[in-house]
Structure 1
Amino acid sequence: MSQSASIISDSQPTFSSKPSILETLPEIPLASGVCSPHTQQQIDLLLLAIEALELGASEQMLVTIKQLELQSVIKNRVSLWRLRCSNPWRRSYSREDLTIDQAKALVILAGDRARRLTVLIRQLLLAEQQMREKKLPLENHFRLSEYLERFRAHFRSRMNRRRAKVSAYLASEQELNELALAYLSKLLFCTGTKGLQRVWYSLFDGEVA
């Protein structure tokens, strides 16, 4: 009986609980062992920018999670939502801290989606440059205006206006547009050589122990 049980046990496949793709981002030596609220806020806004870029972005993220084999960290739609609610700006702020592995998984997800949208991101940033050079309103470019409008809509519907910084952005459409463009630039940076690693490090500026 014991020999049979041993054979059955030995024949079972073993899986690592930690996706190997997480190793593409370096470890960050944090004193607390978890991400700060500021880091969590930045990661959520990266994903918010992705959502503003493409319709059906939430579904595409779930597909990408499976393709990247990140299910052990981001199990499903609810898990993804809960991780993003670590952003203290959110109405549904969970007050839970992201672990380094959870943060890595979200950043890798954002980077992968950004790479698939590289052409569009470049087009929008080029359009921004052209509009500014011509001293024209950004809204004059249809596709750029569409991105900004979606970003503003997502931000307004999900963020807590009782937060001072959120309230300031909501009070100024121009400031909110600038925030949207800043994260669009970060997404483009993610697509470059070693860009994702550099964005990853930038999320922890001033916080490394």
Structure 2
Amino acid sequence: MTDVSVPAVSDPSQPEAVLGRRALERLDLLLLTLESLDLNGGESTLWATRQLGFETVFPNRVELWKRRCHNPLRRSPRRGSLAAVETEALIRILCTMADRLYPFLHQLLSSREPAELTDQRWALLNQRLKDLIEERMNLRRGAIQRLLDGQQAMPLQRQLVLTLALAAGPGGVDRLRASLLDPTP
């Protein structure tokens, strides 16, 4: 489980992560993937926010939603960029949720599970993620069309789930931050 005793987000010794466009897109897609894995994903996100003490950064679900809408792939994106404190809070929330859902992430990625069971799990994830994407994203964008295309979607979804699995556990925050700040696609 993610260590909640880490220094506060506003601590000047913490790295200040200001995300570019691609990183914002990826962070939001990772949060969408978590929502598709957890039927109560929105409530779980709020729970993680409170659990980590980020009520001052995201006092309610609307403020959390507004920060996630900085993703340019959204149906109604917000202009500007996230503050470093908001970025760091979203990264920590995502890692906490990934940590909580790690057993399911492990089952999806495991080669020891029966193939038919794994295929059913991936199909369920694919359908939930597709529904969320169609509901919230701009369907005219090429990146979104690739996520909805049957053949191109699977490797992209697998990469999202793998990233979530790597974001879980000790050091997950640092791994995710490094992944998001990496300029290579």
User: Which amino acid counterpart does residue 170 of structure 2 have in structure 1?
Assistant: T
Aligned to 1:149: 127
Picking from 5, 9, 15, the partner of 1:27 is 15
Q: 1:129 to 1:91 in 2, by over 3 A?
A: farther
Larger radius of gyration: 1
- 5+ unaligned residues in a row in structure 2: which ranges? 1-5
Matches within 5 A, 1:67-106: 67-106=51-90
Q: 1:101 to 1:129 in 2, by over 3 A?
A: farther
User: Which amino acid counterpart does residue 128 of structure 2 have in structure 1?
Assistant: R
- 5+ unaligned residues in a row in structure 1: which ranges? 1-18
Instruction: Report % sequence identity.
Output: 30
Give the drift of 1:140: 6.8
Aligned to 2:153: 176
Give the drift of 1:28: 4.1
1:188 aligns with 2:165: yes
Q: 1:65 to 1:161 in 2, by over 3 A?
A: same
User: Which amino acid counterpart does residue 164 of structure 2 have in structure 1?
Assistant: L
Q: Which is worse superposed, 149-158 or 44-53?
A: 149-158
Give the drift of 1:127: 5.5
Aligned to 1:165: 143
1:42 aligns with 2:26: yes
Aligned to 1:5: none
1:197 aligns with 2:174: yes
Question: What is the DSSP-based 3-state SS (H/G/I as helix, E as strand, rest coil) of the residue aligned with 1:203?
Answer: helix
- Matches of 1:180 and 1:206, distance apart in 2: 20
Question: What is the DSSP-based 3-state SS (H/G/I as helix, E as strand, rest coil) of the residue aligned with 2:79?
Answer: coil
Is 2:16–2:85's contact at 8 Å kept on the other side of the alignment?
no
User: Which amino acid counterpart does residue 167 of structure 1 have in structure 2?
Assistant: Q
What TM-score, normalized by structure 2, do the two folds share?
0.85
What TM-score, normalized by structure 1, do the two folds share?
0.76
Q: 1:64 to 1:164 in 2, by over 3 A?
A: same
Q: 1:148 to 1:101 in 2, by over 3 A?
A: same
Give the structure, 1 or 2, with the largest relative contact order (CA under 8 Å, sep 6 or more).
Answer: 2
Question: What is the DSSP-based 3-state SS (H/G/I as helix, E as strand, rest coil) of the residue aligned with 1:197?
Answer: helix
Equivalent residues, number: 177
Give the drift of 1:174: 2.3
Q: 1:168 to 1:70 in 2, by over 3 A?
A: same
Q: Once the two structures are superposed, what CA deviation does each residue of 1:153-194 show, in whole Å capped at 9, x if it has no partner?
A: 111221112223223333x21212222221111110011432
Q: Once the two structures are superposed, what CA deviation does each residue of 1:84-133 show, in whole Å capped at 9, x if it has no partner?
A: 100000101111311111111011001001111111110111169864xx
Give the drift of 1:69: 0.4
